[in-house]
Amino acid sequence: MTIWKAAGCAMAGNAAPERDIRPPSGINAALGRAAGQVASVCRRWPWYVQVLAVWALARIFSFAVFVAVAAQQGLNPWGWEGTPSYLQFIGAWDSEWYQRIFSDGYPSAIPRDETGRAQENPWAFYALFPGVVRVLAAVTGLGWEVLAPLVATAAGFGAALMVYRLFALRASSGTALWGVVFLAVSPVSPVLQVPYAESLNLLLLAASLYLLITCRYLLAVPVVLVMCLSRPVGVAFALMMGILFLRRWALRRQEAFPRPEAVQMAVLTAASGVGALTWPALAWAYTGDLRAYTDTETAWRGDTLLVFNPWFVEAERLFGPVMGPAALIALVALVVICLLSEPVRRLGVEMQVWCAAYAMYLFAFLNPLTSTFRLLLPLFPLGLALAALSSSRAYRPAVALGFLVLQIVWVAWLWRWTPLPGGGDYPP
């Protein structure tokens, strides 16, 4: 009797007749050994090679998802006949607005209807991403269709490297890498390779947080100012800086706060406030309309800009007049509990306060729709907290696998045009 047969009989507790009981085919064992060897080799790679490899694999997966979903695309407002190509498919939705800015710039007057209400127009989309593409187009002679996805994808790779450096300030190299993995495969991560400004904003935001945490406040000033021209995150960043400065000042007797550092931090705080107001001020200066930007933003809402109100309206619409407010209170409580949890506190006060400030910004100004999922990307430090939640060998791969599945759901549900009964479709 072989050792494996004997072990099988002993486990059964009787002397059953010998059967051909073998270890699960040597293929599984061989695969396990091969996987272990590959992992061992990968761990010896420099950190940046590991990060780039993870990001490349994730983007290839997203590419495959886009191509597979594009094959299911039917009638659509973009006039595609047959199956759209990958570049056509990712050039939909807000990519069209950025392409208009690339080609025609911004209007000198806000378009309004007969009642004076602003209509949808390019001023809702910040200038940095289409501006970078336009400069590269002038240098290379290539068009939007090629350059815009390349810029977005390249910025995503840069963001991955910057996010790892940021995470490595607060966690071991392995946990920091898993934090990048969670970001790379997150349900909305496909947007980091389409002609949107998200990947460029993510790169600049991660760099700003890195410079802040390493106390290089003056170096952070130009990065923050440029970041404020990529996506509307300036208000949240200025709020975070104000909170951090006041905290340091209040604790100056317990924690040293040298005058030079205080001055530099104050400069960064003030610059963040200026950056937050820069785009609305540019819209005002160019159009001569003080409310050019705010009115444009409300054009997508169909009502006036009232802070916090859209959340109450949507909660009541989805859950009713009684359960709606209760659901909203439960959501706020859940967010607070998350931000005060031990894994989030281990991120350090800067990333913790950033996540809180950005959550407050969303709650104050966001009109919660399906695009909310995409707008959660600046909360990327929570990916590190999620990675640090458990070091189980099963936990982290399971989370990553779940994210990959949800990525398919996000692209198939929101990126693919599926007309609603009343017309239109939910935006990604």
In this prediction, residues 163-189 reach a mean pLDDT of 98
Tally of structural domains, the chain: 2
**Sole residue written with tokens 């209170």:** 329
Q: How much is the pTM?
A: 0.91
pLDDT tens readout for residues 15-43: 444 444 445 556 656 655 665 666 677 78
Classify residue 42: in a domain, yes or no. Answer: no
**Does 26 share its domain with 172?**
no
Can you give the pLDDT at residue 412?
Answer: 97
Asked whether residue 423 is domain-assigned, the answer is: no
Same structural domain for residues 335 and 411? yes
Q: Which domain holds residue 19?
A: 1-33
> Per the domain annotation, does 408 fall within a domain?
yes
Judge whether 170 lies within some domain. Answer: yes
Which phi and psi (to 5°) does residue 88 adopt? -65, -45
* 377 in the same domain as 410: yes
Exposed, middle or buried, 237 (CB in 10 Å: 0-12/13-18/19+)? buried
Q: Are residues 248 and 148 in the same domain?
A: yes
pLDDT in tens, 105-150: 999 999 999 988 999 999 999 999 999 999 999 999 999 999 999 9
Tokens of 284: 């005002």
pLDDT at res. 334: 97
Do the domain assignments include residue 385? yes
Domain shared by 27 and 75, yes or no: no
pLDDT score for 28: 57
213 and 145 co-located in one domain: yes
Neighbours of 325 (CB within 10 A): 15
In a shared domain, residues 16 and 132: no
Q: Which of 202-211, 243-252, 303-312, 375-384 has the lowest mean pLDDT?
A: 303-312
Confidence grade of residue 174 (pLDDT, cut at 50, 70, 90): very high
Q: Are residues 347 and 287 in the same domain?
A: yes
Helices 349-365 & 309-339, crossing angle to 10 degrees? 160
> Residue 81 has what pLDDT?
87
Q: End-to-end distance of the chain based on CA atoms, in angstroms?
A: 62
With H, G, I as helix, E, B as strand and everything else as coil, classify residue 118: strand
Identify whether 424 is part of a domain.
Answer: no
Residues 67 and 141 in one domain: yes
